[in-house]
Amino acid sequence: MSDISFVQKEQIPPSPPPASEAGVTKWLRENLFNGFSGTLLTAISLVAIYYILSAAVPWLFFGVWSLDTLDPATNPMLSGMENSTLIQRCRVVLEGTGGGCFAVIDDRWRQLLYGFYPADQIWRINLAFLLLFVAIAPVLFNAVPRQLFAFTAVFPFVAYWLIWGGTIWGPISTLAGFALWYVVFRLIGDRSFVLGLIGGAFAGIIWWLFIGGAVAGGLSSVLPIGLESVESRDIGGFTTNFVIGLTSIAFSLPLGILLALGRQSNLFIIKGICVVFIEFIRGVPLITLLFVASVILAFFLPPGTNFDLFLRVIIMVTMFSAAYIAEVIRGGLAALPRGQYEAADAMGLDYWQAIRLIIMPQALKISIPGIVNVFIGLFKDTTLVSVISMFDMVGFIRGPLLSSTDWNGIYWELFAFASLLFFIFCYGISQYSQYLERKLATDHR
Amino acid sequence: MTAIPDQGNEPFRLSQLIYDTRYRAVTIQLIAIICVCLFFGWLISNAVTNLAAQGQDIDFGFFGAPSGYDISMSMIAYNSQSPHLTAAFVGLLNTLLVSFLAIVSATVLGVIAGILRLSNNWLISKLMSFYVEIFRNVPLLVWILIIIGVVINVFPQPREFRGDNATASMLFSESVAFTNRGVYIPKPIWETGSAVVVAVFILSVIGIFVFRRYARNLLYRTGTLLPVGWISLGIFVVPTTLAFVVMGTPISLEYPALRGFNFQGGIQVLGSLIALWFALTVYTGAFIAENVRAGILAISKGQTEASSALGLRSGMTMNLVILPQALRVIIPPLISQYLNITKNSSLAIAVGYPDLTATLGGITLNQTGRAMECVLLLMLFYLTISLSISFLMNIYNNAVKLKER
C-alpha cells in the first residue's frame, strides 16, 4: 500500500479574489480608471460635470419658485416696492444668490400652456387632453378592450368641438358624412374594395357639400346645444404645438401610405407624381412651407373662402410630414421579402387585398420606429410656427412674455421650462417606441 | 385537335378598361393625370382670380430694382443700391457658409460623441448619453434661442475690454475677442508672394491624399504599416512653413484692436452666425452621434475579436477594421443629416443672421410685397441646394459602398 500522506485530504476553501479584482475597486478600475486615456477621460468628465452643476445647482435651489415670495405685503425684503415690476422684486430677493426667477412660470403658466384661451374654459382643453389618452389607449396597448376603437374614431370631432367650441351639430354633421361613407362602403365594399371606398367618398362629399350644412343649421336653431366658441388666434402656447403636431401626424399617416404605395407602383405616371411631390417637399425647409401657409396659400384657395391661419398651417405641415412618412414606409415596403408579394399573388388576392392583408401589416410594423422619429421631429418642428407670428409656446415666450412690463428682461427660466416640457414629451414617446419595437419583434435572433 | 381560341383577335370591349390588367393600368393613369391636371388648373384659376381681385400680377422684374437695405454680413460686393437679386445671392452664400461650417463641425463632434458613447469608461459614456438625449429631444429653435441668449447676455460688451481694470480680456495673445457684438478674429493680409504659399499649401493637401493612397497600396501589397498620421501631419505643415519662410513671410495678420466704442480691424464674425453655427453643430452632432453608434454596433463583435486575435491594438482596431466597415452603414443617414443642417439653417431668421430666408424671404418680400415670387424662388434655391448635396453625397456613397457582384 502506497503512502498517500502527501495528498490533500480535505478541500481547501476557495480564497477570495485579489482586492483589485473584486467589488468596488474592480468596477472603478474597469469603468473609470482603465489605463491612462480612461483616467484622462474620467478627469475631463468630472471637470465638465463640475462646471454644469456649479451653474445649475444654485440656479435651481436658490431660485424663487412661488409668486407669493414676491408679494411686498408679506416679504419684508420688498418693503416699499409696491409699484415695482415683478422682475425688479425678483432681482432684489435673489441679490447675490445666483438663483433663477422661476416665479415667472407660476405667474404665466396658463398662457404658456394655453395661450389666450378664456381662463374659465381651460377645463375644455384639459378634458380633450385626458380624452386623448382614452382614445389612443387601444392603439398603444393590446390589453385595452377593442371596443374603445369606436371612441378613437369619434375623438377628433369631440376634441375639435371641445377646443374650438360652437354648436355641437357642426361636428356631428361632419361625422354623419363619414358614417354615410361607411354605410355605402359596407353596401358595395364586398364586391370591390376600391369601388366601395370611392362610392362612399362620393356620398360623403355630397352630404358635406349640400345636405350637412343645412341639417346642422336647422338642428342648431331647434336645439341650440353648444359651448362658447373660441377663435383660433386665442388658442396658443403648448396647446398649439400639441394640436398641430397631432392633427398633422394623424392626417399624414394615410397620405404617406398612399404616397409610398404610389412611389413603389409600376404605373409610370402615378410613380412620377409621387416622386416629384416627395422630393420637392423633402428638399425645402419647413419654414418656406410655413411662409406658403401664411402668405401665398390663400391665393390658391377658392375666391371668397377665408381659411384660418391655423388650418392653413395644418394643411402645409400635413403635406410636409406625409412626404417624410412616405419615405419611412417605402423603407418598410422595400424591406419585405419579394416572396410576400408573390405569395399574395399566388393566393389570388388582388392588389388592394394583398396590400391590406399581407403587405401593409408587415411593412407598418417595420416602419414603426421611423414613424415615431418623424413624429418626434414634427412635434419639435411645430415650434417654427412662431416664425410666422403664431403664439405657440416659443412664439408666446418671444412675443408677449419677453416684452411684457412685468417680466421684461427674463430669459433663461422660460426657455428652461419650454425645453423641459418638450423633453418630457419627446423622450417619453421615444421610450414608448423602443418598448413597441421589443414587443413587435417576432424574429428569433 | 381542338382549336384554342386566339385571345389576341377578341374584339375589344369597353369593360376591359376596368377588368383587364393590360388596359387597366392605362385607365388608372389617365384618370390620375386628368385629376392632377384638373386640380392644378383649379389652383391656378383660383390664383389668377384672387390676384386680379387684388390688382396684383406675377412679375419678376423687381429683382433688378435697387434693394434699398443693408446686410450686416456679405461675402460679395453689396450695398443698399445693389439689386434684390444680388441681395438674394448674398443670402445664398451666407446660407452655404453656415451650412458648410456646421456640417464640418457637427461631423467631428458627432463621430467623437458616438465613439465615446460606446467607451468602456462608464462616466464618459453616461455623459454622452445625457448630451445626445438632451439635444435630440428639445426643439432646435429653442436651442438656437438659448445660445443666442448666451452670446448676447453672457459675452462681454466691447467697453469691458477697455482700461487698466478691464473685466474682459482677449484670448490667444490678444488676437481673438469674444464680445456680444460678435467675435473678432485676425484678418490675413495677402502680400506679393503669398500666391506661392497658397499654391504650396494646396499641393501639399493633394500630396496627403496621394501619400495615403500609396500607403494603403503598400499595406495591401506587403503588409508594411506606415505611420500615416504623423507623415500626413508633416506633409501638411512642413512644405507650407518652408514656403512661407522662403518667400519672406508674405502673409501677415491684422489684429483686431479696441478703438473708440468698438473693435476695429480684423474680421468681425457676427454673433448670430456664431450662435447658429454652434446650435446647428451641437443639435445635429447628437443625431450624428446616434448614427455613428448604430453603425459601429452593426459591425459584428467577431470583427473586433478577430482583429484582437491578429494582435491589433484597440485604436488600430477602430481605425482599420471597425470604422471602414461602419462607414457604409453610417453614410446614408449622414447624408440626410447634412440635408437637415442645410434646411435647418433657415432658422437663422430667428437670430437675425442674414441668410437666404432672411434676405429673400424676409426683407425683400416685405419691401416689395411680392410674396408669390419670393417664396417660389426661395423654395427653388433650397431645392437646388438639397438636390446638389444629395447628388454629391450619393456619388461618394456609391464609391465606398460594398460592391456586390
What pLDDT, on a 0 to 100 scale, did the predictor assign at position B168?
65
Dig out the grid coordinates for B105 from the structure.
463641425
If one compares A265 and A319, the residue with the highest pLDDT of the two is: A319
Cα separation, B4 vs A329, whole angstroms: 45
A305: its cell numbers: 373662402
pLDDT on residue B104: 94
Q: What angle do CA B396, B401, B404 make, to 5 degrees?
A: 140
Tell me which residue has cell 463583435.
Answer: B301
Interchain proximity A285–B344, CB inside 8 Å: yes
- Per residue in B233-270, pLDDT (tens digit) is 888 888 888 888 887 777 777 777 777 667 777 777 88
Whole-angstrom distance, CA of residue A252 vs CA of residue B259: 57
Is A317 a residue whose pLDDT tops 90?
Answer: yes
Q: How confident is the model at residue B167 (pLDDT cuts 50, 70, 90)?
A: low
- Please state the φ and ψ torsions of residue A46, each to the nearest 5 degrees: -65, -40
Judge whether residue B24 has pLDDT over 60: yes
What lies within 8 Å, CB to CB, of A395 at 6+ separation is A236, A383, A385, A386, A389
On whether the CB atoms of residues B317 and B304 are closer than 8 A, the answer is: yes
Quick one: pLDDT band at residue B1, thresholds 50, 70, 90? very low
- Determine the Cα–Cα distance for residues B232 and A24; give it in Å rounded to an integer: 43
Which residue is closest to A35 within chain B, CA to CA? B121
pLDDT of residue A368: 83
Indicate whether B164 pLDDT > 80.
Answer: no
The pLDDT value recorded for residue B309 is 93
Question: Taking the CB of residue A403, how many other CB atoms lie within 10 A of it?
Answer: 9
Least confident of A42-46, B69-73, B92-96: B69-73
Beta bridge partners of B258: B263
Identify the pLDDT of residue B281. 95
Q: Which helix (H) or strand (E) holds B178?
A: strand B177-179
Whole-angstrom CA distances from B383 to A282, B69, B140 are: 8, 26, 21
Residue A443 or A323, more confident = A323
Q: Is the pLDDT of residue B2 over 60?
A: no
Identify any residues that bridge with A227 across adjacent strands, giving them in sequence order: A166
Q: How far is B44 from chain A (nearest CA, A)?
A: 7
Distance of residue B283 Cα from the nearest chain A Cα, in angstroms:
12
What is the helix (H) or strand (E) element at residue B262, kind and residue range?
strand B262-264
Digit-coded pLDDT (tens) for A376-433: 999 999 999 998 888 888 988 888 888 888 888 788 888 999 999 999 999 998 888 8
Task: Choose among B336, B328, B338: nearest CA to B296.
Answer: B328
Q: How far is B211 from chain A (nearest CA, A)?
A: 29
Short-list A85, A84, A93, A88, CA closest to A64: A93
Please check whether residue B294 touches A, CB under 8 A. Answer: no
φ and ψ of A16, to 5 deg: -65, 150
Q: How confident is the model at residue A443 (pLDDT cuts 50, 70, 90)?
A: low
pLDDT (0 to 100) of residue B402: 67
B65 interfaces chain A, CB cutoff of 8 Å: no
Q: How many CA atoms lie within 13 A of B108 on its CB side?
A: 7
Rounded Cα distance between B41 and B43, Å, is 5
Type of residue numbered A80: G
Does B81 contact chain A (CB < 8 Å)? Answer: no
Confidence class for position A1, pLDDT limits 50, 70, 90 = low
Test mutation, A41, A330, A410, chain B, max B CBs within 10 A? A41
Q: Is the pLDDT of residue A211 over 90?
A: no
Q: What is the pLDDT of residue B166?
A: 64
Q: Does B343 touch chain A (CB under 8 A)?
A: yes
Residue with cell 461602419: B326
Does residue A53 have a pLDDT over 60? yes
Q: What is the mean pLDDT of chain B?
A: 83
Q: Nearest 5°: phi and psi at A204?
A: -60, -45
CB B289 within 8 A of CB B295: no
Which tops the pLDDT comparison, A221 or A244? Answer: A244
Q: With an 8 Å Cβ cutoff, are B349 and A42 in contact?
A: no
Nearest Cβ partner of B43 from A32, A49, A300?
Answer: A300
Separation of alpha carbons A159 and A129, rounded Å: 8
- List, for residues A58-72, the tens digit of each pLDDT value: 888 888 888 777 777
What gap in Å lies between CA A230 and CA B318, rounded to an integer?
60
**Residue in B32, B121, B349 closest to A34 by CB:** B121
Asked if this assembly's ipTM is beyond 0.90, the reply is no
pLDDT higher than 50, residue A445: no
Residues in A closer than 8 angstroms to B386, CB to CB, are: 282-284
Burial B65-75 (b: 16+ CB within 10 A, else e): eebebebebbe
The pLDDT of B84-91, averaged and rounded, is 87
Most confident by average pLDDT, A138-147, A354-363, A396-405: A354-363
Tens-digit pLDDT profile for residues A188-198: 777 777 777 78
Give the cell for residue A60. Answer: 435651481
Q: Cα angle vertex B38, ends B33, B40, to 5°?
A: 95
List of chain A residues whose C-beta atoms are within 8 Å of the C-beta of residue B138: 380, 419, 422-423, 426
Kindly give, in sequence order, each residue whose CB lies less than 8 Å from that of residue A340, ignoring residues fewer than 6 positions away.
A358, A359, A362
* Element (DSSP H or E) covering residue B54: none
Average pLDDT (B283-295) is 92
Helix (H, G, I), strand (E, B) or coil at B72: coil
This prediction's pTM: 0.86
B286: pLDDT strictly greater than 90 = yes
Tell me the one-letter amino acid at A152: T
Quote the minimal CA–CA distance from B392 to chain A in Å: 15
Tell me whether strands B177-179 and B257-259 are parallel, antiparallel or unpaired.
unpaired
pLDDT tens figures, B213-234: 898 888 888 878 778 788 888 8
User: Which of A49, A268, A279 is facing B29, going by the closest CB pair?
Assistant: A268
**A319-328, B265-274, B348-357: which has the minimum mean pLDDT?**
B265-274
- Closest to B181 (Cα-Cα) out of B210, B214, B159: B159
Write down the pLDDT at residue B169: 66
The three-point CA angle A288-A293-A298 to 5° equals 135
Phi-psi region of B257 (alpha: psi -120 to 50; beta: other; left: phi over 0): beta
> pLDDT averaged over chain A?
84
Q: 408579394: which residue's cell?
A: A341
